[in-house]
């Protein structure tokens, strides 16, 4: 039976969930998680930066903004063949979804034509495809959909009232408009945010309440913990209490029961025990491989061991019922070990 999803959460209700005693919150979140998902299966995506750095935006957390001295070297859009090589390695290493990120404010139309060719090629390998390229208009969203793009990642990042403190070069409404264009084109959305930006709990409530009151819940909800990078304005921000991060995952699970909640950036800095709590609280998706876009992610050996210790299994590809998905395995070729990541 299709789950009944609510889209009318109030901030008061969301704040009340956050304020539950920790054990009660986790018990409730886990019950909802197990009701809607296999609690021992985790969807595994691999991330690749197909166009790195040199971004004109001023997102205060981002190492790829040109204006901050972070040591990230700007690189041009990768060729189809170079991306395919990485996608093959990711598939061999057990990923079911290949996510491609580009450090653009918004792609130019000619960029979309090039990325569409990349998407067609990656899709041809039998992987689910996801891209995050910045703001899109309707035509661009339609072109990407036609090329075979399954998911578009575009995060709200934080609460509407805190957005201006983090990003000055665009508006919250721009983000919502892009999400509308993506939905209008018939793609699935991957939309979440970052915590640890120096926001208050009330603002974490605001982020999750905004996500959960979108006309449709995002199919995938990445919850990133800020990866602090020297040179960005947010470097040196007070760290969030790990239990507050776990609460954020649990509340996301309660508000959006059918969505995949991704334990996204920041895992490298988390203990295995903290990640285990996140999986219990309802996280059921990760990025697998030693690199995110420009920053680190846990070693594949550490993740394999964690899956073993927690009896977790990689989730099968959703759109190919009946396919037996490979376990997380060693990359096929040692030369690709880094790229499989
Ligand atoms: N340029 C595109 C955009 O901003 O939509 C796509 C790439 S951007 C790097 C994708 C997302 O990565 C951001 O929305 C943000 O949520 C996340 N992100 C970027 N830097 C991060 C950091 N230092 N720590 C955690 N998450 C980060
Ligand atoms: C998302 O929410 N997190 C990913 C993905 N979507 C594109 C990006 C995390 C980036 C972390 C910083 C970096 O590696 O540059
Ligand atoms: Fe550019 Fe995206 Fe980084 Fe913002 S988050 S600076 S838009 S790459």
pLDDT for the residue 315: 87
State how far the alpha carbon of 9 is from the alpha carbons of 31, 124, 209, in Å.
Answer: 19, 40, 6
Distance 312 CA to ligand 1 centre (A): 27
Q: Is 59 a catalytic residue?
A: yes
Distance 63 CA to ligand 1 centre (A): 9
Question: Integer distance in angstroms from the first to the last C-alpha of the chain?
Answer: 37
pLDDT for the residue 192: 98
Q: Strand runs (DSSP E) across the chain, as ranges?
A: 41-51, 97-102, 128-132, 151-153, 188-190, 193-195, 220-225, 260-263, 285-287, 313-314
Which atom number of ligand 2 is nearest to the Cα of residue 265? 9
Q: Is 278 a catalytic residue?
A: no
Which of 70, 43, 92 lies closest to 314, judged by CA? 43
> Active site residue: 130, 191, 247, 253, which one?
130
177-214: pLDDT as tens digits: 999 999 999 999 999 999 999 999 999 999 999 999 99
What's the CA angle centered on 228, arms 269 and 17, to 5 degrees? 70
Residue with tokens 């605001």: 206
Which atom number of ligand 2 is nearest to the Cα of residue 222? 2
**Hey, which of 154, 189, 264, 295 would you mutate to test ligand 2's pocket, going by the most ligand atoms within 8 Å of its Cβ?**
264
Q: Is 6 a catalytic residue?
A: no
212 phi, psi to nearest 5 deg: -80, -10
DSSP code, position 6: -
135-189: pLDDT as tens digits: 999 999 999 999 999 999 999 999 999 999 999 999 999 999 999 999 999 999 9
Helix or strand or coil: residue 261?
strand
pLDDT for the residue 93: 83
From the CB of 154, is ligand 1 less than 6 Å away?
A: yes
Q: Using CA atoms in the order 204, 186, 51, 234, what is the torsion angle rounded to 10 degrees?
A: -10
Helix or strand or coil: residue 144?
helix
From the CB of 61, is ligand 1 less than 6 Å away?
A: yes
242 phi, psi to nearest 5 deg: -55, -35
Residue stretches of the chain with pLDDT short of 50 = 1, 319-327, 329-341
From the CB of 155, is ligand 2 less than 6 Å away?
A: yes
Q: How far apart are CA 278 and CA 99, in angstroms?
A: 22
Q: What is the number of residues in the chain?
A: 341
Distance 24 CA to ligand 2 centre (A): 31
pLDDT for the residue 317: 59
Tell me which ligand sits closest to the C-alpha of residue 227: 1
pLDDT for the residue 3: 56
pLDDT for the residue 2: 53
pLDDT for the residue 94: 78
Tell me which ligand sits closest to the C-alpha of residue 293: 2
Distance 65 CA to ligand 3 centre (A): 6
Distance 292 CA to ligand 2 centre (A): 6
């Amino acid at each position: 039976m299709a789950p009944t999803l609510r889209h009318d959460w109030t901030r008061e209700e969301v704040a009340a969930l956050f304020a539950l005693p920790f054990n009660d919150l986790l018990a409730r979140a886990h019950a909802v998680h197990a009701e809607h998902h296999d609690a021992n299966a985790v969807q595994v995506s691999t991330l690749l930066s197909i166009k790195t750095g040199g971004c004109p935006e001023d997102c205060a957390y981002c190492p790829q903004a040109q204006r901050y001295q972070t040591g990230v070297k700007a690189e041009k859009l990768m060729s189809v063949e170079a991306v395919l090589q990485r996608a093959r390695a990711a598939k061999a290493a057990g990923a079911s979804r290949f996510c491609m990120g580009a450090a653009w404010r918004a792609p130019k139309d000619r960029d979309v034509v090039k990325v569409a060719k990349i998407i067609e090629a990656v899709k041809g390998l039998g992987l689910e495809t996801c891209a995050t390229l910045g703001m899109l208009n309707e035509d661009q969203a339609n072109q990407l959909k036609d090329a075979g793009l399954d998911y578009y990642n575009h995060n709200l990042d934080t609460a509407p009232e805190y957005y201006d403190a983090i990003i000055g070069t665009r508006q919250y409404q721009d983000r919502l408009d892009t999400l509308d264009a993506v939905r209008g084109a018939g793609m699935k959305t991957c939309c979440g945010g970052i915590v640890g930006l120096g926001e208050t709990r009330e603002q974490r409530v605001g982020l999750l309440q905004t996500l959960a009151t979108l006309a449709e819940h995002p199919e995938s909800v990445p919850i990133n913990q800020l990866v602090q990078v020297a040179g960005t304005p947010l470097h040196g921000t007070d760290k969030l209490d790990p239990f507050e991060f776990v609460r954020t995952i649990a509340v996301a699970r309660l508000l959006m029961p059918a969505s995949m909640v991704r334990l996204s950036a920041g895992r490298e800095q988390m203990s295995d025990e903290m990640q285990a709590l996140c999986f219990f609280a309802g996280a059921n998706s990760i990025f697998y491989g030693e690199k995110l876009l420009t920053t680190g992610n846990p070693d594949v050996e550490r993740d394999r061991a964690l899956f073993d210790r927690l009896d977790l299994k990689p989730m099968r590809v959703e759109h190919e019922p009946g396919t037996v998905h490979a376990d997380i395995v060693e990359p096929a070729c040692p030369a690709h070990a880094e790229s499989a990541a």
